[in-house]
Structure 1
Amino acid sequence: MTSHSAAAVLLVVVLTALLASLPAGSSSATAARGAGAGGAGAGSSAWSVRPAGTADRTAFVMDSAPGAIVRDAVRVSNLSDAPLSFQVYGSDAYNTPRDGALAYRQAGEAQTGLGGWLALGTNALVIPPGRAADIPFTLSVPADAPPGSHVGGIVALNNAVEQAGGASGVDVGIQRAIAVRIQLTVEGPLTPGVAVRSVRVRHRPAGTPFGGARAILTYTVVNTGNAALRPTVSPRVSGLFGLRQSAFADRTLPLLLPGQSADLTVDWPQAPGTDYLTASVRVTAPGLPATSAQSGRVVVSWPTLGAVAGLLAVLAVALGRFRGKRSRGAIPHTGVLS
């Protein structure tokens, strides 16, 4: 490492939770060197994590009473041609604020939810190439656990550190991990709810007169209940009297956990430069009535207004000169005596 290099360790979690945000029946994710989430790699670091037992389970979906103990097992498979060493741990799930993606906390972070209720048969293992290991675990539900959805996962972190970024002068060590989702519903009253808040429009007019503009709609979707949901949002932006309307596609979010939120944006590159824009977002979720929020604002293209003001000033001066010439060239009226 040179004196101009910096050392960093980046934990990249390639999440089975990404698949957990899809309907049941999706295949499990596989992490691989040089491959993205969900892609099976041909390199020496490909593996998978899924519930042990029947192949039709892609995630742990459980129901339990407060104070109960749930037992199951997770399977970690080495799909490569070399031994792999893993750290395995329970983790709390959360939604990333930026787009609501489901993510898991790292091993060194405090696990205050379902991740802290898990006890694994082992937290470290080495799996020979082409083999799999089943790890039993217990999930001890606290007696005072509130009713509703509790989501976490079991993470298998590959102990190997991959080197990257040398060409840029920064040395980066990357560790990859895969998690399998655990979705526990604690018995008791379920009160699902979802809301949309903070609907705003940012307006960026073109730098030339009479050019278009770019509008960016931002809003926040919040799970206000105690049940995990997959809400669908329908954003819209329209001009005065609805003469100009955006064409945004509906979007279904990943699993949104109780108390969590997602900050979302949509781009309208062909927005009007000067108008009154009304932004609205409608959100629906299975079993819930639709809810919506909206806001409005006047948007102005200052280059356009400046050009119009300049044109009006020129016209005013020209009109004044024209009237002046007419008044100077007029023939005076003289009376005729009879």
Structure 2
Amino acid sequence: MRSDRPPGRAPGTARAVAAALLAVLMTALLAGAPPAAGAARTGTDGVGSWSVRPAGTADRAAFVMDSAPGAVVKDAVRVSNLSDAPLSFQVYGSDAYNTPRDGALAYRQAGEAQTGLGGWLSLATNALVIPPGRAADIPFTLNVPADATPGSHVGGIVALNNAVEQAGEAAGVDVGVQRAIAVRIQLTVEGPVTPGLAVRSVRVHHRPGGAPFAGARVTLTYTVVNTGNAALRPTVSPRVSGLFGLRHSAFADRTLPLLLPGQSADISADWPDAPGVDHLTASVRVTAPGLPATTAQISRVAVSWPTLGVGAALLAVLAVALGRLRRNRSGANYRVGSAS
């Protein structure tokens, strides 16, 4: 990473900005790193492409293991250089987690504390250079703690390319980015497995149009929480209906990424042609294989102030008209009575 300081900029400030931006970019890349085997990412500026997958001849998309507490599990990971130049890697074990938005599966950086499965991993080497078109198998040991809780523990092995790509400039500093790929490790520790899901914080956000009687945009937000000790792929079925169910929006069913125990995913969905004024009921149904469905529901009155203003004005005009009509009728009756 090269720092081009403008006159008067402190070297420490420039380095700090560059380091912070590099950390942010690496975090974003690791959050989007594909966990599947054979996934390769191609860089720019001469950075090659590579893949990370379980070693051996078996067609494994990820490491899926079962173990008793206190056991030692051995396997190997294969890092392949798919480019035409040597590539240098940092390889390390990492904890997996779900990002709050949409629950995407992500992996922690090398400098972060690995308090779960990532910390149980011991690789034969953490640094290697692979010639072009070649692959390296790295043995690793997974030391499962004796007090490991039953259920799913998920992490990964990350191969970080040491090459730095130039990714533009920010705050007067040339920003570099490093790319990484991870292969998932899903370990089930023996003991009682109690899967569970919950839907929480269901909200209906109603944004009416600016003109009277115009439609509105409704955003449904909710949080899916893994309340058990087993990793699950939940399927959600959201729906918003109007008064008496006359108008409704049934959103498409959606299968979420692998949701880890204790983790959650914040989800949102839009209904662009919702009514401007209505009584809305939102429900979210979540299911997973082997689990009964769980549903959460909320209702609210959706109000469009321009529409209500016009309605109130019309009612006021109607009230005045009815008042005049009554007075006219009363006057006519009085004149008829006087004439008699």
- TM-score w.r.t. the length of structure 1 is 0.89
Name the residue aligned to 1:280: 283
Against the structure 1 CA distance between its residues 121 and 202, is the aligned structure 2 distance closer, same or farther, given a 3 Å change threshold? same
Equivalent in 112, 116, 120 of residue 115 of structure 2: 112
Q: Could you tell me how far apart the structure 2 residues matched to 1:332 and 1:191 are?
A: 86
1:160 has 2:160 as partner: no
Equivalent in 190, 208, 220 of residue 205 of structure 1: 208
Return 5+ residue gaps in structure 1 as ranges: 21-26, 35-41
Name the residue aligned to 1:29: 39
Equivalent in 114, 126, 130 of residue 129 of structure 2: 126
Against the structure 1 CA distance between its residues 18 and 281, is the aligned structure 2 distance closer, same or farther, given a 3 Å change threshold? farther
Name the residue aligned to 1:39: none
Letter in 2 for 1:28: G
Equivalent in 13, 21, 45 of residue 29 of structure 2: 13
Q: Could you tell me how far apart the structure 2 residues matched to 1:98 and 1:242 are?
A: 30
Give 1:1-338 correspondences, 5 Å limit: 1=4, 3=6, 7=18, 8-9=21-22, 10-11=25-26, 12-13=28-29, 18-20=34-36, 28-33=38-43, 44-166=47-169, 171-321=174-324, 332-333=335-336, 334=338
Q: Could you tell me how far apart the structure 2 residues matched to 1:209 and 1:16 are?
A: 43
Question: Contact 2:30–2:181 at 8 Å: present in 1 too?
Answer: yes
Q: Secondary structure at the match of 1:107?
A: coil
CA RMSD of aligned residues (A): 2.4
Report deviation, 1:44: 4.1
Letter in 2 for 1:225: G
Q: Could you tell me how far apart the structure 1 residues matched to 2:117 and 2:151 are?
A: 12
Q: Secondary structure at the match of 1:154?
A: strand
Letter in 1 for 2:229: N
Q: Secondary structure at the match of 1:293?
A: strand
Q: Could you tell me how far apart the structure 2 residues matched to 1:162 and 1:238 are?
A: 49
Question: Contact 1:87–1:157 at 8 Å: present in 2 too?
Answer: yes
Q: Secondary structure at the match of 2:180?
A: strand
Report deviation, 1:60: 0.5
Q: Could you tell me how far apart the structure 2 residues matched to 1:162 and 1:17 are?
A: 17
Question: Contact 1:205–1:273 at 8 Å: present in 2 too?
Answer: yes
Q: Could you tell me how far apart the structure 2 residues matched to 1:2 and 1:185 are?
A: 51
Return 5+ residue gaps in structure 2 as ranges: none
Q: Could you tell me how far apart the structure 1 residues matched to 2:101 and 2:32 are?
A: 19
Against the structure 1 CA distance between its residues 169 and 212, is the aligned structure 2 distance closer, same or farther, given a 3 Å change threshold? farther
Q: Secondary structure at the match of 2:229?
A: coil
Report deviation, 1:177: 0.2
Q: Could you tell me how far apart the structure 2 residues matched to 1:331 and 1:66 are?
A: 99
Q: Secondary structure at the match of 2:250?
A: coil
Q: Could you tell me how far apart the structure 2 residues matched to 1:17 and 1:184 are?
A: 19
Q: Could you tell me how far apart the structure 1 residues matched to 2:339 and 2:233 are?
A: 91
Q: Secondary structure at the match of 2:118?
A: helix
Q: Could you tell me how far apart the structure 2 residues matched to 1:109 and 1:207 are?
A: 48
Cα deviation digits, residues 241-263 of structure 1 (max 9, x gap): 11111020001111111111111
Name the residue aligned to 1:37: none
Equivalent pairs counted in the alignment come to: 323
Name the residue aligned to 1:24: none
Report deviation, 1:170: 6.3
Q: Could you tell me how far apart the structure 1 residues matched to 2:296 and 2:84 are?
A: 54
Report deviation, 1:197: 1.1
Against the structure 1 CA distance between its residues 19 and 178, is the aligned structure 2 distance closer, same or farther, given a 3 Å change threshold? closer
Against the structure 1 CA distance between its residues 335 and 241, is the aligned structure 2 distance closer, same or farther, given a 3 Å change threshold? closer
- TM-score w.r.t. the length of structure 2 is 0.88
Cα deviation digits, residues 149-200 of structure 1 (max 9, x gap): 1000000011111111349976321111000000011111111111111111
Question: Contact 1:43–1:80 at 8 Å: present in 2 too?
Answer: no
Q: Secondary structure at the match of 2:184?
A: strand
Against the structure 1 CA distance between its residues 105 and 335, is the aligned structure 2 distance closer, same or farther, given a 3 Å change threshold? closer
Report deviation, 1:314: 2.7
Identity %: 78
Deviates more, 1:158-167 or 1:171-180: 158-167
Question: Contact 2:35–2:181 at 8 Å: present in 1 too?
Answer: no
